[in-house]
A = this chain, B = another copy of it.
Amino acid sequence: MYDELRDICWKHNMMLPKLGLVIYTFGNASVVDRKNGVFAIKPSGVDYEKMKPEYIVIVSLEDGKVVDGALRPSSDTNTHLELYRAFPNIGGVVHTHSTFATAWAQTGLPVPIFGTTHADYLAMDIPCTDFMSDERIQNDYETETGRQITDWFAKHHVSPDEAQMILVAGHGPFTWGDSIAKAVFNARMIEELCKMAFITKSIAPDTPRLKTTLIEKHYERKHGKDAYYGQKS
């Protein structure tokens, strides 16, 4: 019944080490099937080299419990669950500990929008959550990690369709998209943007953000109503 969902989930998890975004068992990707009220996610602590489609775990969107699968789901499952509930348009979620994005997350700072490569995907700084309060840490930690993310969007009145990525302070990047493929793409993109921003800041620490008119121009030509990047669908 969940064969196809498992296959898609497995295939996109396997892309993470190939894209240089994870080593060993770091990171996880999930894909949602909203019609059936479930999402498929990587099992916890299984090496990518040994991963098989049948190891993928199917989890209920309603109560976060395992619906199908013999293994324990990723320890970050409740973070994915929280995002699927709060962001109704998203189809996939990816979490990695990729080197440059994680190094930025460790500073607790947003990533300044320094150039058009960034503006092509995101018309603002890459957001970074606050550090989690002790009260939340003692609570259901993974659910609260999801809430750190959704709180940021609520507080800043930003839609998760506009910014499909965030750094969790002290932790690492989470990305999403209308599909798991887009979420993986965004995981690769946040790593590249963080690497570029690190180099820019090392060369010239006082580099200002890109001017607003240029940010808007680049974002709009890819995502605006008169977008002209790519092929007509």
A159 to B201, CA, bound (A): 31
Asked whether any CB of chain B lies closer than 8 Å to the CB of A106, the reply is yes
Whether B132 contacts A99 by the Cβ 8 Å rule is no
> Which A residues from 185 to 233 make CB contacts under 8 A with B?
185, 188, 192, 195-204, 207, 210-211, 213-214, 217, 221, 228-232
Number of interface residues of A (CB under 8 A): 60
Interface string of A171-183 (1 = CB under 8 A from B): 1100000000000
A24-B188, A115-B170 known; 15 other A-B pairs, CB under 8 Å? A23-B188, A44-B230, A45-B229, A45-B230, A71-B231, A99-B199, A102-B115, A104-B199, A116-B170, A131-B211, A134-B211, A137-B217, A170-B210, A201-B203, A202-B202
Which residues of B are found within 8 Å of A46, using beta-carbon distances? 231
Chain B residues lying within 8 Å of A131, measured Cβ to Cβ, are 211, 214
A213 adjacent to B117 (CB under 8 Å): no
A48 to nearest B CB, angstroms? 14
Among candidates B102, B134, B137, B196, residue contacting A117 with C-beta atoms closer than 8 Å: B102
Return the CB mask of A101-129 against B: 1 if under 8 Å, else 0. Answer: 01111111100001111000000000000
A152: interface (CB < 8 Å) = no
- Beta-carbon contact of B97 and A214 below 8 Å: no
Question: How many copies of this chain sit in the oligomeric assembly?
Answer: 4
Partner of A217, one of B141, B185, B207, B214: B141
Closest Cβ of chain B to A170, distance in Å, is 5
Complex contact A116–B24 (CB within 8 A): no
User: With contacts A44-B230, A207-B106 known, is A97 near B117, CB below 8 A?
Assistant: yes
Q: What CA separation (Å) do A217 and B139 show in the bound complex?
A: 10
Please measure, in the bound complex, the distance between the C-alpha atom of A198 and the C-alpha atom of B104, giving whole angstroms: 11
Nearest chain B residue, comparing its CB with the CB of A55: B231
- How far is A207 from B128 in the complex, measured between Cα atoms in Å? 15
Please give, as numbers and ranges, the residues of chain B lying within 8 Å of A170 by CB-CB distance: 114-116, 210-211, 214
